């Protein structure tokens, strides 16, 4: 197959131009390091997320939006006021629609000194220039088949790209500019929010629903064009801690209780078929993602995921059974299991207000895209916001292979996300003409 046609790495630009494209916006935002951090109490977990937050606040103010704020926890919020005429049938009946994306990138790969590569995809595998050992393989990325002859963006292979979720930010900012210029569609109040620390599970920790003021909302934090999400995993986090006993190894016989060996006996008993590598669709998993320690104390952290809470309870019972089996093998050890709730599937709550998903599906069709509802094998800010009372499905933004150096962005998907957001506002105006809006 022909190699990709590669352009220069995108330089960082210091200011926006009028009617800047979604791609150009994304390239500007992508080079700002906003990586969040695990196990940090404060929000935002890293101060560098505020670098992008301050830039977005300045740009929103420059567009003339109202109630533009940046709070101490890194939440950027703004309002595009309704442009409905006083005599319009929908005036006063259109829900305030929220559009949300997150500032941070994953701690799983570096977000510093990102060098976006803009190219026309010609088929085949893509070797990234900064690290030839990092390859975006066509067989592992079936979505690439539909991108032949089209523009995509990759990193140089030394960092992640940041399409998760700077593509969502770029889509929302592009629409915001369209709404403040000539030719804007009729719309009710539009509430915009950019949140910190989504990647480390604290994106809504200080989200002020009252200040945000939306009746319905949509996160732009998805991947393949056309994919919409109204259900997520339900999630718990589990920690297994082993207390052993340490002593000099030369005098250890009959005395030492090596916590690392005990922990190994636990991990090896985790069902292989209940792992991320062997599950898909609506199948849940138990995923050990972090382990460490020494002879006296060792622990492993696990992700418990299922689309039903009953499945999570079953996974907890499975872990308890493993510990029960291991304890007699190491009578001098003490094993503890702690399980903490993380987030819950938003499916049932969204089903109670079907207008929210129906509007998104209709807007996607109007954007010339075939809508496909797929379950998120993960979570979004929308999971918690929905549980908090703000119905919030998720929308694609064109990104793929999140959280690593093989991440890439389909520019067509980004541009379609802008159009879907625009159509959403028009659909809700029509809904306002026909019936009362949904609300919290």
- Catalytic annotation, residues: 104, 198
* Closest residue by Cα to residue 282 from 220, 347, 341, 343: 347
* Closest residue by Cα to residue 162 from 117, 100, 132: 117
% helix, strand, coil for the chain, step of 5: 35, 25, 45
- 288, with CB counted inside 10 A (0-12, 13-18, 19+), is middle
Contact indicator for 61, 68 with CB cutoff of 8 Å: yes
What is the rounded CA–CA span in Å between residue 184 and residue 139? 42
What is the rounded CA–CA span in Å between residue 132 and residue 271? 35
Strands 216-222 and 97-102: parallel
Structure tokens at 75: 């939440």
Burial 350-386 (b: 16+ CB within 10 A, else e): beebebbbebbbbbbeebebebeebbbbebbbbbbbb
**Strands of 53-134, DSSP E:** 66-70, 76-80, 97-102, 117-120, 126-127
């Amino acid at each position: 197959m022909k190699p990709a046609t590669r352009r220069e790495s995108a330089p960082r630009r210091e200011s926006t131009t009028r009617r800047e494209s979604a791609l150009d916006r994304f390239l500007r935002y992508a080079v700002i390091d906003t990586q969040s951090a695990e196990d940090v109490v404060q929000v935002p977990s890293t101060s560098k997320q505020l670098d992008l937050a301050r830039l977005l606040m300045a740009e929103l103010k420059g567009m003339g939006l109202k109630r533009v704020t940046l709070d101490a926890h890194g939440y950027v919020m703004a309002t595009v006021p309704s442009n409905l005429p006083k005599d319009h049938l929908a005036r006063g009946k259109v829900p305030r629609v929220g559009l949300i994306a997150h500032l941070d990138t994953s701690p799983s790969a570096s977000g510093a000194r990102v060098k976006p590569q803009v190219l026309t995809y010609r088929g085949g595998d893509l070797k990234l220039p900064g690290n030839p050992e990092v390859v975006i393989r066509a067989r592992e990325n079936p979505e690439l088949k539909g991108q032949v002859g089209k523009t995509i963006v990759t990193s140089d292979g030394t960092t992640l790209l940041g399409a998760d979720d700077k593509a969502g930010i770029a889509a929302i900012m592009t629409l915001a500019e369209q709404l403040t210029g000539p030719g804007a569609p009729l719309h009710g109040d539009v509430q915009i929010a950019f949140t910190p620390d989504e990647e480390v599970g604290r994106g809504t920790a200080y989200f002020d629903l009252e200040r945000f003021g939306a009746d319905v909302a949509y996160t732009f934090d998805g991947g393949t064009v056309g994919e919409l999400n109204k259900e997520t995993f339900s999630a718990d986090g589990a920690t297994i801690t082993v207390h052993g006993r340490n002593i000099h190894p030369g005098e250890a016989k009959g005395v030492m209780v090596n916590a690392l060996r005990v922990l190994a006996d636990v991990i090896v008993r985790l069902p292989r078929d209940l792992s991320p590598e062997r599950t898909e669709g609506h199948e849940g998993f138990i995923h050990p993602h972090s382990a460490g320690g020494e002879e006296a104390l060792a622990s492993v952290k696990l992700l418990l995921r299922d689309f039903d809470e009953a499945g999570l309870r079953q996974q907890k019972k499975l872990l308890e059974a493993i510990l029960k089996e291991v304890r007699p093998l190491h009578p001098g050890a003490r094993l503890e299991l702690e399980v903490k709730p993380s987030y819950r599937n938003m499916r049932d709550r969204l089903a109670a207000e079907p207008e929210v998903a129906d509007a998104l599906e209709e807007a996607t069709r109007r954007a010339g895209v075939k809508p496909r509802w797929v379950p998120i094998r993960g979570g979004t800010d929308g999971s918690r916001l929905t549980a908090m009372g703000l119905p919030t499905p998720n929308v694609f933004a064109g990104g793929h292979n999140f959280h690593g150096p093989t991440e890439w962005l389909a520019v067509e998907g980004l541009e379609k996300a802008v159009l879907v957001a625009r159509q959403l506002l028009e659909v809700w105006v029509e809904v306002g003409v026909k019936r009362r809006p949904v609300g919290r």
